[in-house]
């Protein structure tokens, strides 16, 4: 694509659990109880572990000398391991990092680095009158965000993968893990993005604080509700809502595995129902009916062969970043290879989008070809060097990747801006390009931009235009971009029933970097982007696919067809900018026939 500068019924809650008045211990968590009972437990190590204790993750003027610290456990002999940010339980009022060491070592011995954090706590007078000092939401989650920022900044120093950071926690820690991953406010405040969270694994938490409060009122009485829930979250529905992950189920950036045991099942079910209603498809749920709140943590931290720990480990390894890296031209480039056969490089649109939304196309094309996708410099998992964002540098990145993978010649598939990228590479290295597929491509100069935005706006409904006008008032940049994608999505497809697929692809499967977008367009304007003459000399086969209602006027596809000496043009009927959505049968058949041609 092109982006220019541009109340729960209390009868359903805890029916059986609260009969035994165990709500307090549920959110107090077994973490404190268990950890004190098994500190002498040891097992045979699979990996040796290097341990770092009491690392300060926040050192501001108001830093807590005890709580603003973490313990880090890094497996040795594992290259660039993923990291699990572990948030302890304890009803937001008790516990600390020192009680989580056994669990952390269990994961580290399996090859996953762990940062066990402490955070400031709320009063706990409901358990002990002495614990009357403390903080209130959102201070806990602010500390968690600070800890995340620290581990994100220090991966190279301690030897773990900063692109594969997972957040998890038990009980109160499960709630905080979910909230960090769904409300972008807190990571933005520390200079990070919720998109930096690779995955979240909340365990045995409460995710609707209003429902949690109502449960206490009904089963444990007003005093407990006040001294516990209100002491942590305040006493208004607005404060409960802002602290509830269920309030943010429409923010679907982070894949999640949510685990419950039988005592927190009803709390987790509230989140599950909300996720289903919001079509949060990459939020998975696993309910463990044969464990209670204490025994599940006991199993995770103590058992030599914990099936639940294995489930978490499997999830981490399955969802860790699958891209490989190449150091080239002053930046680290991230790429991924699918299948076997002749090489086909897929160049995504933007500029400024990551490649992640194109994995589906890559898998489809990999049935007959070895397909390479990569994050263009400054996007996704590739490094950003704001001083070197230019088309020339991007062309050299592609050339470095071709050489690195050992290909003599490559075919190029370019979608939207990716088509312009492909032509620039073919201009610089014509002998290295076997063929090109220009899918809804931009033109051979920048003249096409004059009407692209107008054509995009023409495809929007009045309510979409109204939404666009309101976007600028949204303060959080990620929420602002999310709503922008939502408003623009319908403009990219002829069949408006497909708009939600477009929206989710742009908003959640890809990540957009506006600063890269601006710098690339600025560079193209400054250097007078024009490839007409070079493309007149490009004699190898070119397939041009374009929508008859494309945001890039079809006349530019026709002009490209007239310019290339050896091209085929297919205009897809009732199609805008995504042929694989509006006209999939014709789109894929045309590409597959072209790729089969000698």
Q: What is the DSSP string of 456-474?
A: HHHTS-HHHHHHHHHHTT-
CA neighbours within 13 Å on the CB side: how many for 232?
28
CA angle 288, 289, 290 (to 5 degrees): 95
Q: Where in the chain is the domain with CATH 3.40.50.1820?
A: 24-319, 324-451+513-596
pLDDT value of residue 508: 94
CA angle 166, 170, 174 (to 5 degrees): 65
Enumerate residues 6+ apart whose C-beta is below 8 A from 214. 7, 8, 10, 13
Interatomic CA distance for residues 293 and 271, integer angstroms: 18
Enumerate residues 6+ apart whose C-beta is below 8 A from 300. 103, 106, 170, 203, 306, 308, 309, 312
As to burial, measured by CB atoms within 10 angstroms (0-12 exposed, 13-18 middle, 19+ buried), residue 277 is exposed
Beta bridge partners of 74: 50
pLDDT value of residue 387: 75
Host H or E run for residue 231: helix 231-233
What's the predicted TM-score (pTM) here?
A: 0.90
Interatomic CA distance for residues 502 and 490, integer angstroms: 8
Structure tokens at 587: 């789109």
| Number of residues that make up the chain | 598
Tally of CB atoms within 10 A around 95: 26
Torsion of CA 491, 495, 496, 502, to 10 degrees: -60
Output the CA–CA distances (angstroms, integers) from residue 157 to 153, 162, 321, in the order listed: 9, 11, 19
Interatomic CA distance for residues 407 and 365, integer angstroms: 18
Task: Name the CATH topology of 324-451+513-596.
Answer: Rossmann fold (3.40.50)
One DSSP character per residue, 155-208 reads HHHHT--TTSEEEEEETHHHHHHHHHHH-THHHHHTT--GGG--EEEEES----
pLDDT value of residue 1: 59
Structure tokens at 403: 């050489």
- CATH code linked to domain 24-319: 3.40.50.1820
Enumerate residues 6+ apart whose C-beta is below 8 A from 5. 517, 518, 521
**Beta-strand relationship, 567-572 and 542-547:** parallel
Each residue's pLDDT tens digit in the chain (598 positions)? 544 333 222 233 333 333 323 333 344 433 333 333 333 333 444 899 999 999 999 999 999 999 999 999 999 999 999 999 999 999 999 999 999 999 999 999 999 999 999 999 999 999 999 999 999 999 999 999 999 999 999 999 999 999 999 999 999 999 999 999 999 999 999 999 999 999 999 999 999 999 999 999 999 999 999 999 999 999 999 999 999 999 999 999 999 999 999 999 999 999 999 999 999 999 999 999 999 999 999 999 999 999 999 999 999 999 999 999 999 988 999 999 999 999 999 999 999 999 999 999 999 999 999 999 999 999 999 988 767 899 999 999 999 999 999 999 999 999 999 999 999 999 999 999 999 999 999 999 999 999 999 999 999 999 999 999 999 999 999 999 999 999 999 999 999 999 999 999 999 999 999 999 999 999 999 999 999 999 999 999 999 999 999 999 999 999 999 999 999 999 999 999 999 999 999 999 999 999 998 7
pLDDT value of residue 549: 98
Interatomic CA distance for residues 390 and 21, integer angstroms: 63
């Amino acid at each position: 694509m092109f982006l220019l500068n541009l109340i729960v019924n209390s009868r359903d809650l805890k029916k059986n659990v609260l009969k035994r008045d165990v709500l307090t211990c549920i959110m107090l968590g077994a973490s404190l109880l268990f950890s004190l009972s098994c500190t002498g437990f040891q097992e045979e190590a699979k990996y040796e572990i290097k341990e770092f204790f009491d690392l300060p993750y926040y050192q501001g003027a108001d830093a807590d000398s005890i709580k603003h610290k973490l313990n880090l456990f890094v497996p040795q002999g594992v290259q660039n391991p993923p990291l699990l940010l572990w948030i302890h339980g304890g009803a937001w009022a008790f516990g600390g990092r020192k009680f989580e060491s056994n669990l952390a070592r269990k994961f580290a011995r399996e090859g996953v680095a762990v940062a066990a954090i402490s955070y400031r706590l709320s009063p706990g007078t409901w358990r002990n009158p002495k614990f009357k000092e403390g903080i209130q939401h959102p201070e806990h989650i602010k500390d968690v965000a600070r800890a995340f920022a620290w581990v994100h900044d220090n991966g190279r120093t301690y030897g773990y993968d900063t692109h594969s950071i997972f957040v998890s926690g038990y009980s109160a820690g499960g709630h905080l893990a979910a909230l960090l991953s769904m409300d972008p406010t807190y990571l933005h405040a520390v200079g990070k993005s919720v998109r930096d969270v690779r995955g979240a694994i909340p365990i045995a938490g409460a995710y609707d604080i209003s429902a949690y409060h109502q449960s206490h009122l009904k089963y444990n009485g007003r005093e407990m509700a006040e001294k516990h829930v209100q002491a942590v979250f305040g006493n208004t529905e607005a404060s409960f809502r802002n602290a509830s992950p269920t309030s943010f189920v429409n923010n679907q950036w982070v894949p999640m595995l949510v685990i419950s045991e039988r005592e927190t099942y009803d709390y987790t079910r509230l989140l599950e129902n909300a996720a289903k209603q919001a079509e949060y498809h990459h939020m998975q749920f696993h309910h463990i009916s044969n464990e209670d709140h204490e025994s599940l943590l006991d199993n995770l931290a103590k058992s030599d062969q914990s099936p639940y720990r294995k489930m978490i480990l499997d999830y981490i390894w399955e969802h860790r970043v699958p891209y490989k890296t190449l150091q080239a031209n002053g930046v680290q480039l991230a790429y991924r290879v699918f299948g076997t056969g002749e090489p086909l490089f897929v160049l995504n649109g933007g500029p400024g989008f990551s490649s992640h939304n194109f994995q589906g196309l890559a898998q489809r094309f990999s049935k007959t070809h070895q397909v390479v996708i990569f994050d263009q410099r400054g996007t996704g998992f590739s490094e950003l060097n704001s001083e070197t964002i230019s088309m020339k540098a991007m062309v050299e990145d592609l050339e470095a990747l071709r050489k690195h993978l050992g290909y003599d010649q490559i075919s190029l598939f370019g979608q939207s801006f990716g088509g312009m990228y492909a032509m620039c590479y073919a201009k610089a290295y014509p002998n290295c390009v076997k063929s090109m597929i220009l899918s809804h491509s931009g033109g051979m100069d920048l003249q096409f931009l004059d009407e692209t935005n107008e054509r995009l706006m023409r495809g929007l409904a009045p309510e979409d235009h109204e939404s666009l006008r309101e976007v600028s008032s949204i303060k959080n940049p990620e929420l602002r971009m999310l709503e922008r994608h939502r408003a623009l999505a319908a403009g990219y497809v002829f069949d408006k029933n497909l708009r939600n697929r477009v929206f989710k692809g742009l908003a959640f499967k890809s990540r957009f970097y506006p600063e890269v977008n601006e710098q690339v367009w600025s560079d193209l304007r400054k250097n007078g982007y024009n490839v007409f003459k070079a493309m007149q000399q490009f004699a190898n086969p070119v397939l041009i696919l374009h929508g008859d209602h494309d945001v890039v006027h079809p006349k530019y596809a026709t002009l490209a067809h007239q310019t290339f000496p050896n091209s085929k043009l297919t205009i897809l009927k009732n199609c805008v900018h995504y042929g694989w959505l509006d006209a999939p049968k014709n789109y894929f058949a045309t590409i597959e026939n072209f790729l089969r041609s000698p």
